[in-house]
Chain A
Amino acid sequence: MWQYIFRRVLVCIPVLFGITLLVFGMVHLIPGDPAATILAQSGAKPEAVATLRTQLGLDLPLTQQYANYMRGLLRGDLGSSLFTYRPVTEIIGQNMRSTLALALDAILLAIVLGVTLGVLAAVFHDSWSDNLLMSLAVIGVSMPSFWLALLLILLFSVGLGWLPSGGEGTWKHMILPTLVLGFNAAAVIARLVRSSMLEVLRQEYIVTARAKGLTETIVIVRHALRNSLIPVVTVIGLQFGFLFGGTVVTETVFARQGLGRVAVDAILYKDLPVVQGIVLFVAVIYMLVNLVVDLCYAFIDPRIRYG
Chain B
Amino acid sequence: MKPSQFALSLMVVVLLVGFVLSGCAQPAPTPAPSPTQAPAAAPEPTKAPEPTTAPAPTTAPAAAGSKELKYGLTLVVSGIDPQIHSSSELGIPLNSVYDTLVFLTKDYKFVPGLAESWTISDDLKTYTFKLRKDVKFHDGTPFNAQAVKDNFDRIMDPATKSAKAITLMGTYQSSEVIDEYTVKVNFEKPFVSFLDSCAQVYLGMASPTAFKKWGPADYQSHQVGTGPFMFSETEYVPKDTIVLVKNPDYNWGPSIYQHTGPAYLDRIVFKFYPDAATRAAALETGAVDVMGELPPQDAERLSKDSKFQVITVPVPGPPMLSFINTTRPPTDDLKVRQALLYATDRKGIIKTIFRDMSPVAYGPWSAASMGYDNSVEALYPYDLNKAKALLDEAGWKPGPDGIRVKDGQRLSLETYLQTWGFLQETGQMLQAQLKMAGIELKMQTVAFPAAVQAANEGAHNLIPWNLSATDPGFLGTLFASDGGNNWSKVNNPEVDKLLSDADATRDEAQRLELYKQVQRMAMEQAWVLPIRDYTNLNGASAAVKGLVYDVHGWFPYFYDVTIEK
A48 at interface (Cβ–Cβ under 8 A)?
yes
- Contact code string A160-195 (vs B, CB < 8 Å = 1, else 0): 010011111111011000000000000000000000
Q: Are A31 and B238 in contact (CB under 8 A)?
A: no
Q: Are B23 and A261 in contact (CB under 8 A)?
A: no
Using A36-B452, A268-B447 as known contacts, say yes or no to A255 and B282 having CB atoms under 8 A apart: yes
Q: Are B484 and A158 in contact (CB under 8 A)?
A: no
Instruction: List the A residue with the shortest CB-CB distance to B21.
Output: A101
Q: How far is the CA of A261 from the CA of B240 in the complex (A)?
A: 12
With beta carbons under 8 angstroms apart, the residue of A37, A90, A170, A171 that contacts B448 is A37
Q: Are A42 and B163 in contact (CB under 8 A)?
A: yes
Give the distance to chain B from A261, nearest Cβ to Cβ, in Å. Answer: 7
| Residue total for B at the interface (Cβ-Cβ under 8 A) | 73
Instruction: List the A residue with the shortest CB-CB distance to B237.
Output: A94
Instruction: Give the residues in chain A near B237, CB-CB below 8 Å.
Output: 94, 257
A59 at interface (Cβ–Cβ under 8 A)?
no
Instruction: Give the residues in chain B near A295, CB-CB below 8 Å.
Output: 3, 6-7, 10
A40 at interface (Cβ–Cβ under 8 A)?
yes
Instruction: Give the residues in chain B near A296, CB-CB below 8 Å.
Output: 7-8, 11
Q: Are B23 and A265 in contact (CB under 8 A)?
A: no
Q: Are A41 and B15 in contact (CB under 8 A)?
A: no
With beta carbons under 8 angstroms apart, the residue of A32, A43, A154, A265 that contacts B485 is A43
Instruction: Give the residues in chain A near B452, CB-CB below 8 Å.
Output: 32-33, 36-37, 40
Q: Are A42 and B4 in contact (CB under 8 A)?
A: no
Instruction: Give the residues in chain B near A105, CB-CB below 8 Å.
Output: 18-19, 22
Q: How far is the CA of A150 from the CA of B280 in the complex (A)?
A: 13
Instruction: List the A residue with the shortest CB-CB distance to B3.
Output: A1
Q: How far is the CA of A173 from the CA of B25 in the complex (A)?
A: 10
Which residues of B in the span 256-286 have a Cβ within 8 Å of any Cβ on A? Answer: 271-275, 277-278, 281-282, 284-285
Instruction: Give the residues in chain A near B7, CB-CB below 8 Å.
Output: 292, 295-296, 298-299
Instruction: Give the residues in chain B near A45, CB-CB below 8 Å.
Output: 482-484
Q: How far is the CA of A254 from the CA of B385 in the complex (A)?
A: 48
Count, A-B residue pairs, CB within 8 A: 212
Using A101-B21, A104-B15, A269-B77 as known contacts, say yes or no to A94 and B238 having CB atoms under 8 A apart: yes
Give the distance to chain B from A236, nearest Cβ to Cβ, in Å. Answer: 10
Instruction: Give the residues in chain A near B453, CB-CB below 8 Å.
Output: 31-33, 36
Q: How far is the CA of A30 from the CA of B22 in the complex (A)?
A: 36
Using A39-B86, A104-B21, A174-B22 as known contacts, say yes or no to A302 and B78 having CB atoms under 8 A apart: no
With beta carbons under 8 angstroms apart, the residue of A43, A171, A299 that contacts B167 is A43
Instruction: List the A residue with the shortest CB-CB distance to B29.
Output: A169
Using A43-B477, A86-B217, A299-B4 as known contacts, say yes or no to A166 and B287 having CB atoms under 8 A apart: yes
Q: Are B483 and A98 in contact (CB under 8 A)?
A: no
The A contact surface, by secondary structure, is helix
Instruction: List the A residue with the shortest CB-CB distance to B486.
Output: A43
Using A43-B485, A86-B238, A295-B10 as known contacts, say yes or no to A102 and B22 having CB atoms under 8 A apart: yes
A253 at interface (Cβ–Cβ under 8 A)?
yes
- Contact code string A28-60 (vs B, CB < 8 Å = 1, else 0): 001111101111111111101001100110000
Mark the stretch among A77-85, A205-213, A217-225 that contacts chain B: A77-85
Give the distance to chain B from A159, nearest Cβ to Cβ, in Å. Answer: 10
A153 at interface (Cβ–Cβ under 8 A)?
yes
A91 at interface (Cβ–Cβ under 8 A)?
yes
| Residue total for A at the interface (Cβ-Cβ under 8 A) | 76
B41 at interface (Cβ–Cβ under 8 A)?
no
Q: Are B25 and A158 in contact (CB under 8 A)?
A: no
A108 at interface (Cβ–Cβ under 8 A)?
yes
Give the distance to chain A from B419, nearest Cβ to Cβ, in Å. Answer: 9
Q: How far is the CA of A253 from the CA of B75 in the complex (A)?
A: 13
Q: Are B278 and A97 in contact (CB under 8 A)?
A: no
Q: Are A83 and B25 in contact (CB under 8 A)?
A: no
Instruction: Give the residues in chain A near B448, CB-CB below 8 Å.
Output: 32, 37, 40, 268-269
Give the distance to chain B from A237, nearest Cβ to Cβ, in Å. Answer: 11
Q: How far is the CA of A234 from the CA of B449 in the complex (A)?
A: 39
With beta carbons under 8 angstroms apart, the residue of A100, A261, A302 that contacts B18 is A100
Q: Are B4 and A298 in contact (CB under 8 A)?
A: yes
Q: Are B4 and A257 in contact (CB under 8 A)?
A: no
Instruction: Give the residues in chain B near A262, CB-CB below 8 Å.
Output: 239
Q: Are B484 and A39 in contact (CB under 8 A)?
A: yes
13 A-B residue pairs with CB within 8 Å? A32-B449, A42-B484, A85-B217, A105-B19, A166-B281, A168-B240, A169-B27, A171-B22, A253-B278, A255-B272, A257-B272, A268-B447, A298-B7
Chain A residues close to B by CB (< 8 Å): 1, 30-34, 36-46, 48, 51-52, 55-56, 80-81, 83-87, 90-91, 94, 97-98, 100-105, 108, 150, 153-154, 157-158, 161, 164-171, 173-174, 252-255, 257, 261-262, 265, 268-270, 292, 295-296, 298-299, 302, 305-306
6 extra interchain contacts, Cβ-Cβ under 8 A, other than A84-B80, A101-B21? A36-B456, A56-B161, A153-B278, A255-B274, A268-B447, A269-B448
